[in-house]
Amino acid sequence: MIRCERNGVVFYEFETLALYPQVLHAIFTRIGGKSSEPFCSLNVGQWVGDEPTAVQANHDLIFQTLGIQPGQVVTAHQVHGARVAIAEAAQQDTIIPATDSLISQRRGVALLLRFADCLPLMLYDPQRQAIALAHVGWRGCLAGVAVNTLAEMGRAFGCEPRDMLAGLGPAIGPCCYEVGPDVLTGVEQALGGNGGLLLAQPDGTTHLNLPAAVRQQLQEAGVQKIEDSGLCTHCHTTEFFSHRAEKGRTGRFAAILALRE
């Protein structure tokens, strides 16, 4: 990924997507905002206990950084599920309920989701000029949110997985993601066994490789070009919010994806 900074606001871009000037995208860090500890400082989580005025100021900062207007944005109430919604002009400046993946072909519509260990998944089809932004935690992964997103892009826009460019953003990595029996069973059932996704640790615990699980699902669906950030949010709390590392008392960082008008 490419680390960028504008006026003190730090964000990352995928090298693959940066080659396409018609694609506007950014995965923001926690750096450069207005919130105080423990939400320091670019928190865009509205329901985590932060001051509403600071959260609004942080939204304004990320919009200014990318040169977009609040009225362009479509976001969602994320529920760790697998529902996909099409973002049209009519949904701009709205919150779509109970949704973890947004797709669009509409130029000027900016998709925004929020993260703190779950994986930001960005998809772009240069052939059909279509985009998707998904929120993928272990529940969403096992429920098939990535696969559902590809299927809905095919149904709605005629996209083919082989044409897709995928970006896996910063998320909790296999180095830090200890999981319990419920997740172990779910991974084995949903992803066809271990396959290197479940990593036994010397202390007897097991870790999940969430980015590898999402990559496996995308590849099995036919996606060939996948860029992985390789950034663990748990290891890099100076740059990213981590729900696990900060014991639930933390903010959310933003990911934004749009087709330029």
Query: Does residue 193 carry a pLDDT above 70?
Result: no
Give the model's pLDDT for residue 105.
98
The backbone region for 210, taken as left when phi is positive above 0, alpha when psi lies in -120 to 50, beta otherwise, is alpha
Query: What is the token pair recorded at 17?
Result: 């997507």
Identify the band that residue 192 occupies on the pLDDT scale cut at 50, 70 and 90: confident
The count of structural domains within the chain is 1
Q: What residue numbers bound the domain in which 163 lies?
A: 2-259
Q: Are 236 and 3 in contact (CB under 8 A)?
A: no
Least confident of 69-78, 168-177, 195-204: 195-204
Helix (H) or strand (E) holding 64: helix 52-66
Domain at 37, CATH number: 3.60.140.10
In whole numbers, what is the pLDDT of the chain averaged over residues? 97
What average pLDDT does this structure show over 2-10? 97
pLDDT digits (tens, 9 = 90+) for 76-121: 999 999 999 999 999 999 999 999 999 999 999 999 999 999 999 9
Listing from the earlier edge strand, what are the strands of the sheet with 2-6? 2-6, 9-13, 23-28, 253-259, 110-115, 73-76, 94-96
Closest CA to 117 of 139, 149, 84: 139
Residue 86: its H or E element: strand 84-86
Distance CA 21, CA 125 (A): 14
Q: How confident is the model at residue 10 (pLDDT cuts 50, 70, 90)?
A: very high
Distance CA 201, CA 182 (A): 17
Q: CA–CA separation, 234 vs 249, rounded Å?
A: 13
How many Cα atoms occupy the beta-carbon half-sphere of 220 within 13 Å? 14
Q: What are residue 76's DSSP bridge partners?
A: 96
Q: Decide if 147 contacts 182 (C-beta within 8 A).
A: no
Q: Give Dmax over CA atoms of the chain in angstroms.
A: 53
DSSP 51: -
Mean pLDDT score, 153-176: 98
Confidence of residue 194 (pLDDT cuts 50, 70, 90): low
Residue 195 has pLDDT above 90, yes or no: no
260 band by pLDDT with thresholds 50, 70 and 90: very high
pTM: 0.97
